[in-house]
Structure formats: C-alpha cells, structure tokens
Amino acid sequence: MALGGGPFLTQNKVLPGTYHNFISATRAFVNLSDRGYVGQPIALDWGQDEGVFTVNLEDLQKDSLKIFGYDYTHQKLKGIRDLFKGALTVFFAKLNLGGTAAENDLAKAKYKGVRGNDIRLVVQPNVDEPTQFDVLTYIDTTLVDEQTVATAADLTANDFVVFKADATLNATVGMPLTGGSNGATALTAGTPHQMALDDLEAFGFNTLGCLSLEPTIKSLYVEYTKRIRDVVGGKFQLVGHKLGKMDHEGIIDIQNDAIGDGEEVFGAVYWATGVQAGVAVNKSNTNKTYTGEHTLDMTETKTQSQLTALLKAGKYVFHRVGEDINVLEDVNTFVSFTVDKNEDFSMNQVIRVLDQIAIDTAQLFNSRYLGKVPNDQDGRISLWSDIGAHRLELQRIRAIQNYNKDELTVEQGQSKKAVVVSEIVTPTIAMSQLYITTEVA
C-alpha cells in the first residue's frame, strides 16, 4: 500500500504516513557587507572596449599585461597600482569612443588603443616540419603566444590578436600592427564619461573616482553621485580633485596637486579612492600615511592657517608630518551644519557606518523578507530581531556605541505591505584631538 509522505503546511492529509517539515533554526542576521569596491572610469591604451570589467589585486599582479597591455611595474600603471593600495576589487569602465584597433594583413588587435601598435608578429618555417609555420606574437619584446600551423585558418586567437583566417602565411622577421588609437578618451570629452557612468550604475561599490580636471566632467560626476545617493539609494562616495564648493557628505574633494614629471594633476585621486573604499567600517583614514607613487604638492598645506581654512571648507588634505605625508582628517565636503544634520556628517567614518547600515539592511530585507515573510506581528518581530542583531555586531566591532535594541521599533506602515523601522544609532569616531590640563603642584 502506498503511504503518504512529504512536507505539510496544514494538518489536512488523507493518507496514513509520516509528514515531515525540515526548517532551519532561527538565526540572527549579523553579516556585514565587504568593503574595498571601487567604480573607476579610466582612459586606457588597451583593455576591454565595452561595458565594465572587474579586476582584483591578484589579477593585476598576475595578468596586468593581458588586461591593461603593460606589465605590473610599468610606469603607465602607476595610478592603477595606487588605486589598489586600498581597493580589493575595481570595476573599470574604459573611456573609449571611436577608437581603433591596430592591425596588419595577418591579424587585428583584440582591443582598441595605441598599445596595439606595439604588437608585432613573426612568421618563420618550423625547424622540424618545413611545411608548417611558427607564428609568434610579441608585445614590445615579450613573447606572449606561439603557434605552429600549416595555414592562417589554423591559427587560434590569443589574448592580444585575432588572426585573419583568409591571410597567407609568409616568413617574416616582424610584422607590426599599426593604426591603433584610443579614440575620444581626452579629459575634456564628456560623452565617454557619461557612457562609463551609465555602465557602472548596475554595480555596487564604496567609492567612485573622478579622473578629470575639466569642470564640466567634474560636475557630471558630482550630479551623478548626488542622484544615486539621494534619489536611487545607492551608497558610495565620490573622490575627485578640486571639485569646488560641493557641501555634500557623499563627495570627497582632494586639495593637493600631483606635480611629478608627466603626472596628472589629479594623481592623488587614485590612492585616495582606493583607501577610502578599503578602510574598515570601524576605522578612520585620519592621519593615514600616503603610500602612493605620485608626487604631491605641499605648498597649499604647509601652515596651520592654510590647513584650518581648508578643513573648514571641507577639503581632503595631505600635509607633511616629519618625513611622511599624511591625511590631515578623513572628511568630506559637507559643511552646512544644521540641527538635523550636524558636523558628524562631515566625517567619512560616520558616513561609512551609515552607508554600511543602509546597504546591509537593504540586503537583509531584500534577500530574507521581501515577498517571503508575512507582514504580521511574528514577521515584524523576526525583522526586529535581525536588524537588532546586525546593529549589535556593529557595536561589537566598535563601529557604533550605546545602541539600545529596546529603542528599535518595527511597525506596520500605512499600507498592509509596508513596514516602518525607527532606531537611534551613534557612530563611533576615531580620536583626532587631545586637550590636556596639567596641574603642577
């Protein structure tokens, strides 16, 4: 006789048998989302032409030649190396509009850009099989691929070129690829930047770097950041150079110029974007020593009066401390303090905590509650428990303090599907000032 079995929702079964539900024991949600993610539109001589491509530090160290066209130590990658002084993962969007890929009669470069002009192909008869050819691909003097084939149709595309199947193989000591160009990647060309920002909108990151000295492009990044933070709800901070009077907690404005030979004036943006993304939620970059490769100008940040004026204006400043160059204070451009929004919001450590709360709470609700848990008392108690557990984890790592779970409320909103949460959080701030009174007896 067939017996009943399987899970049950209500006790309404007809057949005899065992009905067994397997459920997880209730566990509080305490996951903190990772930091270290950067969104970076960037002008490149080589690399993926369309969309966003993801690179982590290991990728950069192992495969920089394949990804960016240069070996890890090359001068051209100085800014990217600075970026990874703090970043763990970078979402790159190549600034490219109308560029061309280098080519010759035998092959075409895999990507657009001037670096393709440094690729050359060598074709020579195979020593052991005279009817076969050795086809070697070089970038500068580095051999990156070697294939032995009878005809061009037998060649397989490599990391640098796509071969033309209808080409004729003839022995040659070197066939350079020519005609590669970067296209509209100039710092004054707004369209590539807009296209890159559009592509990045689908990604989540902690900081966005603005690599431009052009006012209209800077304005594009500023307005993009304000829209995503204040309207869409994405939580990241923009890092740029001499952006002007911004007065917004989502914008970090670096004051110091880069002045090394051949360096971009906004060179400090690379390092700051990386370290601002990578700093832990319970840490500050105040007094952090600059470890970037760019040479920074200190003439605007030498005296106490200069530093005071810049700090009051919401500028992110590097200054000399002995032999080191340090961050003066980890601040953003917000300066118009009010009763509802005081000076705490000018401190990036506070914004990191608040952004962490926003990101993690959204992840919690969207993954575990949205469309899954009834909006009744039991459902709201479960959400209350998870939110409270998350905040207590932030308190455990000293990102917030004095959190009172009893002040957290989770109630039904005006509609049956809405839930309203209210709480009080006090972010913890790193010490930056010391006042001492010493009484001498």
- Mean pLDDT confidence for 335-358: 94
Answer for the pair 205, 38: CB distance below 8 angstroms, yes or no: yes
**Cα–Cα separations (whole angstroms), residue 432 to 16, 111, 288, 347:** 71, 48, 12, 11
- State whether 241 and 374 are in the same domain: no
Q: The pTM is what? A: 0.91
Confidence of residue 16 (pLDDT cuts 50, 70, 90): low
Domain span at residue 139? 107-176
Average pLDDT of the segment spanning 24-44: 82
CA 419/CA 416 separation, integer angstroms: 8
Q: Provide the β-strand partners of residue 55.
A: 90
pLDDT per residue as tens digits for the range 191-245: 899 999 999 999 999 999 999 999 999 999 999 999 999 999 999 999 999 999 9
Q: Is residue 23 part of a domain?
A: no
Averaged pLDDT, 114-119: 98
Confidence of residue 31 (pLDDT cuts 50, 70, 90): confident
Q: Are residues 58 and 162 in the same domain?
A: no
Q: Are residues 289 and 320 in the same domain?
A: yes
The answer, yes or no, to whether residue 186 has pLDDT greater than 60, is no
The count of domains in the chain is: 3
Q: What is the CATH number of the domain that holds 67?
A: 3.30.1490.450
- Cβ(334)–Cβ(351) under 8 Å? no
Between CA 183 and CA 273 the distance in angstroms is: 26
| Residue in 421, 394, 420, 408 with CA at minimum distance from that of residue 29 | 394
Residues 297 and 391 in one domain: no
Tens digit of pLDDT for each residue in 50-107? 999 999 999 999 999 999 999 999 999 999 999 999 999 999 999 988 889 999 999 9
| Same domain flag for 301 and 226 | yes
Is residue 2 in a domain? no
Instruction: Evaluate whether residue 220 is within a structural domain.
Output: yes
Q: Is residue 32 part of a domain?
A: no
The answer on 249 and 114 residing in a single domain is no
Residues 205 and 160 in one domain: no
Residue 28 lies in a domain: no
Task: Say if CB 175 and CB 120 are below 8 A apart.
Answer: yes
Whether 83 is covered by a domain: the verdict is yes
323 and 364 in a single domain? The answer is no
Boundary-marking domain end, from 149, 176, 203: 176
Say how far apart CA 287 and CA 267 lie, in whole Å: 19
